[in-house]
Amino acid sequence: MGTRIKVAVLDDYQGVAQRCADWEPLRDKADVAFYHDNIAEPAALVRRLRDYDVVCLMRERTRMDDRVLPQLPKLKLIVTTAMRNAALDIALARRLGITVCGTGAVQTGTPELVWLHILAHARRFEQERAGLREGRWQVALGQDLHGATLGLLGLGRVGERVARVGQAFGMKVLGWSPHLTPERAQAAGAEFASKQALFARADFVVIALQLRESTRHIVGQPELDAMKPHAYLVNTSRAGLVDEDALIAALRGGRIAGAGLDVFQTEPLPREHAFRSLPNATLTPHIGYVTVNTYEQFYRETVEDVCAWLAQSPIRVLTGAE
């Protein structure tokens, strides 16, 4: 490729992409633009991207589907951070002759965030912090983790790490997923339980599943109704795993004690969204993967992928939506 190419790096919310990797290898070959906002409207997104040869995506922040991809005839390469992106129509991109590749990903950030949510609820962090700001002292009673029951929907890479920390706290750990076996649960240090039993027995329910059509709304009103009134739900996986309307109703009605949420149906979360006004919802803005180590790997390997594509060398090609 003898001519310079144009590269768009999207959704760099914090303005950190340039310092998280060395972009110098592209300096003589490409003009790289970094965008810090998010464009959800397809026509506006097409206007922004129509002159670019390469688009670099940060996870699933920007949807690239049949409303966008066919309108970008210059686009030849998409790099997405990590090797899975449900917001990208990979099959359509391939049919249009667009190469799609991904990067590796650090696996520790999301399990750590799970424990921020569990501990914040267990020790009434939001209430105690608000009390201090109002001049009060000790406004609530914390909940002990030692002896409490942790229920994990999913015992994969995230669930296993969460389970090990729960064991260190002295918690009873239960596990269930559509394909989990008692033997696999035992190997992860958990007791296998039915889905119904897990929701009925757990003091903290953590969702650690992948979103597929078979798992969409796997947590709905029946599951929430089965939970103890003092129990908490934590979801740092995907919003579609939970029936959002049912969860809002459960929180408003006090049927469960609270929820810790890092993922939402619409992101960024609208200002007027009901979750923002619920006092028993602890919210973080989809930051499970937003860490220094993760971003450095994401952007370093993004640069490597673009350089390899320019050199016609092997790259980490995505073949379909996993």
Token pair belonging to 161: 């790490």
**Residue 286 known to be catalytic:** yes
- Work out the angle at residue 237's Cα, subtended by the Cα atoms of residues 78 and 151, and round it to the nearest 5 degrees: 160
Buried b (16+ CB within 10 A) or exposed e, 33-65: ebbeeebeebeebbebbeebbbbbbbbbbbbbe
Task: Identify the active-site residue in 267, 273, 296, 300.
Answer: 267
Task: Identify the active-site residue in 61, 223, 286, 301.
Answer: 286
DSSP string, 156-204: SHHHHHHHHHHHHTT-EEEEE-TT--HHHHHHTT-EE--HHHHHHH-SE
Token pair belonging to 129: 């912090």
CA distance 86 to 269: 18
Separation in Å, CA 73 to CA 115, 219, 256:
45, 41, 50
Q: Is 35 helix (H, G, I), strand (E, B) or coil?
A: coil
Token pair belonging to 289: 């993967």
Kindly state the helix (H) or strand (E) to which residue 7 belongs, with its residue range: strand 5-9
- Across 215-298, where does the E strand assignment appear? 232-235, 258-261, 281-283
Task: Identify the active-site residue in 124, 161, 238, 304.
Answer: 238
CA distance 164 to 46: 45
- A 10 A CB-CB count for 269 gives 17
**Residue 128 known to be catalytic:** no
**Residue 48 known to be catalytic:** no
Beta-bridged to residue 5, according to DSSP, are: 30
Q: Is 34 helix (H, G, I), strand (E, B) or coil?
A: strand
Buried b (16+ CB within 10 A) or exposed e, 278-300: bebbbbbebebbbbeebbebbbb
Residues marked active site are found at: 238, 267, 286
